[in-house]
Every structure is written in C-alpha cells, then in structure tokens.
Amino acid sequence: MGKKKFSVNGNFKDSINTVKFLIERKQFVNSAPAVLPTRTDDFGVNKVAKSLHPKEQKLVISRIEDHAGIAKSYYFSSKGAPLAYFKAGQYLTFKLEIGSSVVTRSYSIASSPASALNGEYQITVKRIANGFVSDYILDNWNVGDEVIAYAPEGNLTYSPLRDAKNIVAVAGGSGITPFLSLARAIDQGDEDCTLTLLYGCRASDEILFKAELDALSEKNDKINVVYVLSHSDEEGYEKGFVGADIIKKYAPEGNYSIFVCGPGGMYKYLETELPKLEKEKKYIRFEVFSSGKKADEEPKEFSIKVINRGEESVIKASSNETVLCAFERAGIVVPARCHTGECGFCRSKLVSGKVYIPEGEDRRRIADMQFNFIHPCCCYPESDLVVRIN
C-alpha cells in the first residue's frame, strides 16, 4: 500500500501562522512592565514630533519693516525652543487678547522655510477696511513684544505626489506672502517646482516686495513674475484682473497646478474664470482666511448658551458674524486655527438651534454632520443656539 500524500493549502498555513503570531504577541505583552513609561519626552521620535508640532510658540518681534504705509512685515525670533519648521505656503495662527476678546488669526509665512532653521519667521500684515485684528496688530505690535503663535499649518504647499510640477500662483494684495515664501524656497533649492506668479494689485504702488520678486525672476529660470493692475493703466504691466485669459497667456507648457491666495473679491471673480480652463479639481487649490463676517442687510441678534468644560454662559451673537466670532468677542477661548472650516480644531457640538453654513464652506466629516457637530468658524446663527465646545 502506497503512502497517503497530504497537501497543506495556503489558507491553512495562514491560520497556523496567525495562531502562532497571537501566542507570541500575548507572551510579548505579558513580559512588558506593568507600569507605562512616563518620560516619553526622552524618546527621539517624541522630541522630533514636539519640535515640529509644538502646542504653542512664544515669539518675540525682532524687527518691523514698513511697506510704504500699505503694510508692515513683522519678523519673529523664538523665546526658547527653536522655531518649528514649515513648508512654503503654510501659515501661523496667532492668539491675541484685544480688550475682553481672545481672538486667533492666521497669517501666511512670507519667509522661506530655511529662515526658520536660522531662527526667524516673517509675516506681512496689510491694513484692510474694518480689519479688527490686522488694525490692532499694525497699531500695537512693537519690537520686543512677545506674542503667541501655534505651530505652522496649512495645505497651500507644493507636494510632488499631488501637484503638477509647474505652479501657477494667483495672488492678490497681501496674498503674495505664501508665494514669496515659495519663490524664496525654490531659489534656495528647497522646492523642486517652477513658479509662474500672477500678482494682481490695484496699481503699481501697491505691489509688495516688487524689488525682491523682480530679482528672483531675473536670476532664477524657474520663477516668472507677472504683475496685473486692475485700476491703473501703466506701461510694462498687464491690465485687468487675473482670469482665464491671463493664466492661459503665461502658464507654462504642459500640466500645471493653480494655487490661489488673495482677497474675497478675487475668489468671486475666479469662481467663473477657472472653470474656463477645464482643469481637474485636484489641480486647483485655494487659501482662504475668513474675516468671519458676511454681508447681511439686517443683522439679527441671537443668544448662544455656551457649555464649555462643564461651565455654562450665555453670550450675544449676530446673524452676520460667525459663531466663532461671537465666542471670541465674549472672551471664550476656542482652539481655532484656519478659520475656513478646514482644520477641524474649532469642532463643537450644536446641541440645539439652527446655523447657516455658506455653500462650499461645509468641510465637516459625514459622521460629524450626522451627529450635529459644527465648525463655528464658518457657521452663522439663524436662531438662538446651544453649543458645547469640545
């Protein structure tokens, strides 16, 4: 009688290996110390994570540069730990106490990432009509003052896996800063993309950083800068608004990504212009820093009952300001960063009441929508509310 042959199929082998793995894992877990190690800061990886994503950064204003009365650049050094590194295009969110309000506002970093390694950040603040926070900064910040900023954040950054290698940047006013940072990073060899910068201003005397942009464009083949003036007809400048025609005229051959940063009016205009380019959605990216206000002919007044870590208070809110604005005005500190509904830091539970979320600004997860969580930075009250801050 011949020997009976057995064959072991793959599934059976997998099952044996899984059981073996479970036994080994149990032994490993049982051999671990009963008490968790507490000095987690000693682990190298934690040190790196902490330096890249500090909870807060204490900064000192080291110098201030005036841009012909239109804007000011603020340069910061660290008061303590080294500055957190960032990618060109990211922003810093500052926490300020103005009167009885505690507000947060984000400003794109204008300096290059390499400058953070050398201990310096730069932001540029432009005076805008009714700019509550920007006016406060321009009128009150002085050299030597200490300010609080969170870690750099934001997604208006070049990523070779996601973006085309050619970036067409559409900038308006002080929206030039993330692209100045990108131009500097390209010139310093820290970013491997090309930059066609279409910079819209009302007139040539409102162009920020012109001398430096011209110099970068002159010396580096990867950088091309075009100025577009909307309210002034001057020789050597494009006239009008940055739209589909101007983008087509200056965009490089082949595929390109479009990055946009500027005032609200520019976004409105581009809403109808960009579709003419028939680009895939993933190749168009925006930076929006909301002022937290909406035009409303007759603002209505509501009340918000705020539940914050077990404490309750009732504050006033207006229908033309975001719920976050109402919190800030009342001095309630909410962990907010982007002010555009993107980062999720301000996520709170709407216990009752109705809010309005402008079209295109609802960036909540589906589960959050189902369980009535909101991003107060882009919700406007439409009734009295009860909100629990997470």
Residues lying near ligand FES in the complex (CB under 6 A) = 336-339, 341-346, 375, 377
User: CB of 364: closest distance to ligand FES in angstroms?
Assistant: 9
Closer residue to ligand FES in complex, CB, 186/377: 377
User: CB of 91: closest distance to ligand FES in angstroms?
Assistant: 11
Asked whether the beta carbons of 335 and 346 are under 8 A apart, the reply is: yes
Closer residue to ligand FES in complex, CB, 215/307: 307
Residue ranges of the alpha helices (H) in the chain? 10-30, 44-52, 113-117, 132-140, 177-187, 210-219, 244-250, 264-273, 323-329, 366-370
Closer residue to ligand FES in complex, CB, 106/115: 106
* Nearest CA among 44, 121, 107 for reference residue 79: 121
User: CB of 319: closest distance to ligand FES in angstroms?
Assistant: 19
Measure the CA dihedral 145/151/155/157, to 10°: 70
Closer residue to ligand FES in complex, CB, 243/292: 292
- Report the DSSP beta bridge partners of residue 104: 95
Closer residue to ligand FES in complex, CB, 190/361: 361
User: CB of 345: closest distance to ligand FES in angstroms?
Assistant: 5
Asked whether the beta carbons of 89 and 182 are under 8 A apart, the reply is: yes
User: CB of 348: closest distance to ligand FES in angstroms?
Assistant: 9
User: CB of 153: closest distance to ligand FES in angstroms?
Assistant: 9
Residue 66 to residues 44, 72, 125: CA-CA distances in angstroms?
Answer: 41, 5, 10
Closer residue to ligand FES in complex, CB, 252/335: 335
Asked whether the beta carbons of 78 and 119 are under 8 A apart, the reply is: yes
d(CA 26, CA 113): 46
